[in-house]
Structure 1
Amino acid sequence: MTTLAAAVRRYPLVALTVVVGVVGLALNWTPASAVVPWLLSLYAIAIAVRESVSMVRRLFAREFGLDVLAVTAIIATVLVGEFWASIVIVLMLTGGEALEDFAAGRAQRELKALLSRVPQIAHTFADNGELVDVAVTEVVKGDRLVVRPSEIVPVDAVLVSSSTSVDESSLTGESMPVEKVAGDLLLSGSVNGPEAVTVTAAAPASESQYQRIVQLVSEAAASKPPLVRLADRYAAPFTLVSVGLAAIAWWVSGDPTRFAEVLVVATPCPLLIAAPVAFMAGMSSASTHGVVVKNAGTLEVLARAKTVVFDKTGTLTSGTPEVVAIRPEGGRSEEALLTLVAAAEQYSSHVLAASLVADAQQRGYDLPSVTDAREVATHGVQARVGSELVTVGKPAFVAEQAPGLVRLELSSGEAAVYVAVDDQYAGAIVLRDAVRAEAPRMLHDLRELGIQKTLMVTGDVHQTAQKVADELQLSEVHAECLPQDKVRIVQSITPGPVVMVGDGVNDAPVLAAANVGIAMGAKGSTAASESADIVILVDDLYRVVDAVSVGQRTVFIALQSIWIGIAISVALMLVAMTGVLPAIVGAGLQEVVDLVTILNALRALSLGRRAR
């Protein structure tokens, strides 16, 4: 009863239409049956007037919608005395919103599943050592927590216990449990295995992985599908065809009832509902496989994409470079060179800097104190270590300080960080960042999906970038680019639409500038994820293929649903022109058309792994 009452409050016109219809049926078998035509006709006209007001407003805004046809059909059936057909059309109009909500709710099932699993409490230790429950929002970095068996990890945390297995399917789509050992990071939203474990909070709830995902999903769920506008593109010609066929039927038969019978089966509910349902279903399907589409309009643009642009480090490559050679100059030792570089690179956000610092720490080197450190975006860093000015970065940047710099010959996947101390060239450190194993197949399958051009736009040196581009057979490569250069290049690329795939802070502006921005969010920056239209939550570049495939198939199914609705409606109109289809029967058949088109649109729910 509670659910029924809520439905009545939410959709009062649907309830009122049903009540009017039931009352009409009851009165039809009583002496008061003469009142029934007046009751039904007046109610239908009242609804038509209500719809006409909003219709006129849209017409003044130069928006010609399909509701014009529905209002015309209501008025026509009332004028020729087909009042029961009028009520069926009114029920279709008033029930359209409820039907769309139901279908869209089915399509958003997977999106809402994430929201329902948001952790609410955490188990932490009080000052007396007892385990107490606190709101997850009260957890701060460094808190020691206990995660019980089969419980959701409340915040991003480092495992203290020796080992455990976790279910990360809600985050990554991977159905197999993932084994973790002490020191590994447990992501919030993952489900602990069969034994309780102790962890240390690595971040508060607001900065944890699951909360970021929830925010992205909330944006996706709130997105209004824009392909309704595409359906409206068919409004004017469909209305003209329908009214024309109805007028011909009236003229040939001489019976005005025939006009109403034709218009009844031309009502446009399928065109208004099927397209947005298909888009929400496509977004839902993508989300179950780690691809969050923030806005439904993104899928429509993605389906027409002709060019895909990639960042290099962390996108086409694994993003975890390792030091493979240290080549000092000027009499310095390998330890001395790496120590100076790591000390300066502590103040850089570049992925190579993190690898250099980590390598020095793994070797047990003590890093000296640094003063006056500054980073020059995409070029390198300068820092004063003791009395020495250390410059670290790209060859052109370092050569400005040390003209004696000598460039190294590098192999595919390698990058060199050059070093100057004061005005003398001090050597270089070589790192290797291997191309992702899935990258060649991903590029091949993108071409199979109709992508005409694939490019690399990166801040790395040209020599390193060109070797990776040659290995992957990319169409073009643009290296040593500043963030503004990336934006300019992407905005000038043809053919479009252009998709940009990246992961770093420096990629945020170009992700926002591209027609579609795709962020590798599994290890990438928050800034990149917030700027992108699509976020890939799994560290798997092949999901770019999945995203394009879902976009193309979703648009195909949306358009297919529109044309199915049009085709069946036109066929029914042609039958109605012969006079063998009473208006009340035609109104009922139109409801069947609604159901067929919506069920077809819901096929987009199963698109997630088509590209695999």
Structure 2
Amino acid sequence: MRLARSLLRNIAVMAALAVLAATLILDVVGAGSAGRWLATAFVAAFIVWTLVGMVRDVLRGHVGLDILAVVAMVATIAVGEYVASLIVVLMLAGGQLLEDFAAGRATSDLQALLDRSPRIAHVRDTAGGVRDADVDDVAVGEVLVVRPAEIVPLDGVLLTESASFDESSLTGESMPVSHTVGDEVLSGAINGSTAVEVRVSRLAGDSQYQQIVSLVREAQSSRAPVVRLADRFAIPFTAISLVLAGAAWAISGDSARFAEVLVLATPCPLLIAAPVAFLSGLSRTARAGVILKGGAVLEQLARVRSAAFDKTGTLTRGRPVLVDIRPSVGTTHDDLLLLAAAAEQYSSHVLAGSILQAGRALGRPLPAASEAGEVATNGVTALIEGRTVAVGKPAFIASLTGAEVTTPLMSGQAAAYVAIDNTYAGALVLADDPRPESAAVIAWLRDHDVERIALLTGDARATADSIAAAVGIDEIHAELLPPDKVALAAELQPRPTMMVGDGVNDAPVLAAADIGIAMGARGATAAGDAAHAVVLVDSLSRIIDAIAISRHTLRVAFTAIWIGISLSIALMLVAMTGAIPAVVGALTQEVVDVVTILSALRALGGRRIGIPDETSAGERLDEVERR
């Protein structure tokens, strides 16, 4: 579709140039009448083509900005300024080509991600040979051979003893990253100088790079805020242009003056400059490691006034470590951990992996459950060797045991409480420290017009309080179920509200927020699908980059629009005196278009934002704004 549209625009430009050249030649050789008829017929056909497109836009609910150009073409033909009318045709057709070029420049980083998407995998067969297969046909558990300098096509576990990968397209890390056997290798990473083998752990649709590609396609297809920006200015600008042109005609009594004024009423700042600025901003946020799902998200992010954060995996690292086992009377340390780990095999909670890892470290086989089920956001229950084991929040365990359960926690610690046969059996204490950049991110938001910041978490109050105090959040809502989070996010004022979270349980609130941002570096698929933006790098500080870039982009878009409109109105006022002939005015308008579009490209903003994550929030903002 895009290729066909670009081809039609090329044909329109070439046809306009050919007709213009033929008209001028006919005029020189004394066949001006034939030239006028040729120009009139061509411009009339172009007007019909433009009107059809305008009707389609109106039916979609968009204001037809091309009305000014159509009126200018009709007016110039009517007063005999057929050369000027051809230049207006060139302006419209050439402007659309210029938009394609500028959009291509603006989305170069997004397109690069799409172009690098691997489609073929080298699969090790049962005979020890290697066959090529489409990535969509590769199953979990199959072994891939990744040759030197090739892109890893699917997420997997490294089978080779050691290897080095370029992960810059995934994490922004410019230096090669070394991995050893057993490490996770993400699709999209580029292999180093030796061939390696990787066992597939996720299907193509669930692999990291394919998720990024899906996000990029969604971002490229969304242009809603661009249309809204144009619509805000379209009607008043059209009305002012027509009033000025009509006044010039009425004052001078010369109908040609109407055309001379109107050819300077360029719609390009609205039709082209704003889209180019937004596409540039989307491309730049992608370079910073954040994929925004379209320009609408970028515009909302630039205006954010309230922010809410999940705790685990968002403000904290999301990799808790078991630091203490506290059994109740009658239960041993090993039995408590072993049974809890056996039950946590059936849980998707972030603490489950840490408990499971610690349980396996005992060196004893984990017993299987004959029955198991997860109680959403509360915990897990399992029937293990005839005993009912429950692991979860204190309120959940208290509801099963009928007794109050609690254990003292230090800052940054969380606890998983255990009941065996409806009797309290003890607690497992885990530590999940705040991310080193969390406090700086919260401070930056508070210093830069984000008026309200809250912590929304399903974890226990004591844990929430300690993390909130460490990162500088005063408003705390703990022990929440997903519907509670959704309701609180909906009530946050002032708007727009940004919600940042990680994991499946955050998907509803991310979808419900004005701007839902998922920490997707470790593959939180459900949260990423529900969110409006996904952070591809495991760092909260990239959200600062995304907000700063969004604000810069919005400023550039409005500046480009006002530059174009101001220049057009100033030139129209001059043209009302008769000082600018129609042909000169049409050519001058092209200069205004180029100036406006070059101004919009400033949103692309220069060098990559490769600021180390340990840099302070203020230094990161200064760097972003300098660009």
With the shorter chain as reference, the TM-score category is over 0.9
Q: Deviations over 1:217-251 (max 9, x none)?
A: 11112222432222222222222222222233334
Amino acid at match of 2:315: L
* Shift in Å, 1:45: 3.4
The alignment-based identity, stated in percent, is 52
Counterpart for residue 94 of structure 2: 95
Partner-residue secondary structure (3-state), 1:70? helix
Partner-residue secondary structure (3-state), 2:429? strand
Partner-residue secondary structure (3-state), 2:424? strand
Conserved? CA contact 1:225–1:280, under 8 Å: no
Counterpart for residue 612 of structure 2: none
Conserved? CA contact 1:307–1:497, under 8 Å: yes
Amino acid at match of 2:599: N
- Find the aligned partners of 1:541 and 1:430 in 2 and give their Cα distance: 25
Partner-residue secondary structure (3-state), 1:409? coil
Counterpart for residue 465 of structure 1: 464
The answer to which of 516-525 and 196-205 deviates more is: 196-205
* Shift in Å, 1:62: 7.4
Unaligned 5+ segments in structure 2 are 610-619
Counterpart for residue 16 of structure 1: 15
Counterpart for residue 508 of structure 1: 507
- Find the aligned partners of 2:124 and 2:407 in 1 and give their Cα distance: 54
Counterpart for residue 527 of structure 1: 526
Counterpart for residue 253 of structure 2: 254
* Shift in Å, 1:37: 2.1
Amino acid at match of 2:205: S
Counterpart for residue 235 of structure 1: 234
Counterpart for residue 580 of structure 2: 581
The answer to which of 82-91 and 230-239 deviates more is: 230-239
Q: Check if 1:389 corresponds to 2:388.
A: yes
Q: For the structure 1 residues 148 and 259, does the alpha-carbon distance in structure 2 shift closer, same or farther, using more than 3 Å as the test? A: same
**Equivalent residues in 2 for 1:392-471, closer than 5 Å:** 392-471=391-470
- Find the aligned partners of 1:60 and 1:366 in 2 and give their Cα distance: 66
Q: Deviations over 1:475-533 (max 9, x none)?
A: 41111111111111111111111111111101111111001111111124211000011
Counterpart for residue 555 of structure 1: 554
Partner-residue secondary structure (3-state), 1:265? coil
* Shift in Å, 1:118: 1.8
* Shift in Å, 1:308: 0.9
* Shift in Å, 1:423: 3.4
Conserved? CA contact 2:9–2:96, under 8 Å: no
Q: Deviations over 1:147-170 (max 9, x none)?
A: 222111122122222212110111
Partner-residue secondary structure (3-state), 1:319? coil
* Shift in Å, 1:474: 1.2
Q: For the structure 1 residues 181 and 599, does the alpha-carbon distance in structure 2 shift closer, same or farther, using more than 3 Å as the test? A: same
- Find the aligned partners of 2:345 and 2:62 in 1 and give their Cα distance: 57
Amino acid at match of 2:478: A
* Shift in Å, 1:589: 0.9
Counterpart for residue 81 of structure 1: 80
- Find the aligned partners of 1:257 and 1:218 in 2 and give their Cα distance: 48
**Equivalent residues in 2 for 1:288-327, closer than 5 Å:** 288-327=287-326
Counterpart for residue 372 of structure 1: 371
Conserved? CA contact 1:405–1:425, under 8 Å: no
Counterpart for residue 36 of structure 2: 37
- Find the aligned partners of 1:475 and 1:84 in 2 and give their Cα distance: 67
Q: Deviations over 1:192-218 (max 9, x none)?
A: 111222322223333321111111111
* Shift in Å, 1:605: 1.4
Counterpart for residue 138 of structure 2: 139
Q: Deviations over 1:250-291 (max 9, x none)?
A: 344333322221111112122211111111111111112211
- Find the aligned partners of 2:55 and 2:223 in 1 and give their Cα distance: 23
Conserved? CA contact 2:9–2:93, under 8 Å: no
Conserved? CA contact 1:225–1:276, under 8 Å: no
* Shift in Å, 1:415: 0.9
- Find the aligned partners of 2:508 and 2:538 in 1 and give their Cα distance: 21
- Find the aligned partners of 1:68 and 1:5 in 2 and give their Cα distance: 24
Unaligned 5+ segments in structure 1 are none
- Find the aligned partners of 2:47 and 2:22 in 1 and give their Cα distance: 20
- Find the aligned partners of 1:64 and 1:482 in 2 and give their Cα distance: 43
Q: For the structure 1 residues 503 and 56, does the alpha-carbon distance in structure 2 shift closer, same or farther, using more than 3 Å as the test? A: closer
Partner-residue secondary structure (3-state), 2:28? coil
Q: Check if 1:126 corresponds to 2:135.
A: no
* Shift in Å, 1:570: 1.2
The answer to which of 96-105 and 543-552 deviates more is: 96-105
Aligned-residue CA RMSD in angstroms?
A: 2.2
Conserved? CA contact 1:403–1:425, under 8 Å: no
Q: Deviations over 1:526-569 (max 9, x none)?
A: 11000011011111111111121122111111111110110111
Q: Deviations over 1:98-123 (max 9, x none)?
A: 22222111111111111111223333
Amino acid at match of 2:270: L
Amino acid at match of 1:442: V
TM-score (norm 2): 0.92
Q: Check if 1:173 corresponds to 2:160.
A: no
* Shift in Å, 1:172: 1.7
Q: For the structure 1 residues 8 and 383, does the alpha-carbon distance in structure 2 shift closer, same or farther, using more than 3 Å as the test? A: closer
Q: For the structure 1 residues 188 and 570, does the alpha-carbon distance in structure 2 shift closer, same or farther, using more than 3 Å as the test? A: same
Counterpart for residue 28 of structure 1: 27
Q: For the structure 1 residues 431 and 139, does the alpha-carbon distance in structure 2 shift closer, same or farther, using more than 3 Å as the test? A: same
* Shift in Å, 1:49: 4.3
The count of aligned residue pairs is 609
Conserved? CA contact 1:307–1:453, under 8 Å: yes
* Shift in Å, 1:54: 5.2
**Equivalent residues in 2 for 1:536-575, closer than 5 Å:** 536-575=535-574
Conserved? CA contact 1:378–1:480, under 8 Å: no
Q: Deviations over 1:356-405 (max 9, x none)?
A: 01111123132223222222111112222223222221111111222344
**Equivalent residues in 2 for 1:274-289, closer than 5 Å:** 274-289=273-288
Amino acid at match of 1:584: V
Q: For the structure 1 residues 311 and 572, does the alpha-carbon distance in structure 2 shift closer, same or farther, using more than 3 Å as the test? A: same
* Shift in Å, 1:60: 8.2
Conserved? CA contact 1:225–1:279, under 8 Å: no
Amino acid at match of 2:332: S
The answer to which of 257-266 and 476-485 deviates more is: 257-266
Q: Deviations over 1:419-463 (max 9, x none)?
A: 222232211111111000110111122223311111111111111
Partner-residue secondary structure (3-state), 2:401? coil
- Find the aligned partners of 2:388 and 2:189 in 1 and give their Cα distance: 46
Conserved? CA contact 2:62–2:227, under 8 Å: no
TM-score (norm 1): 0.95
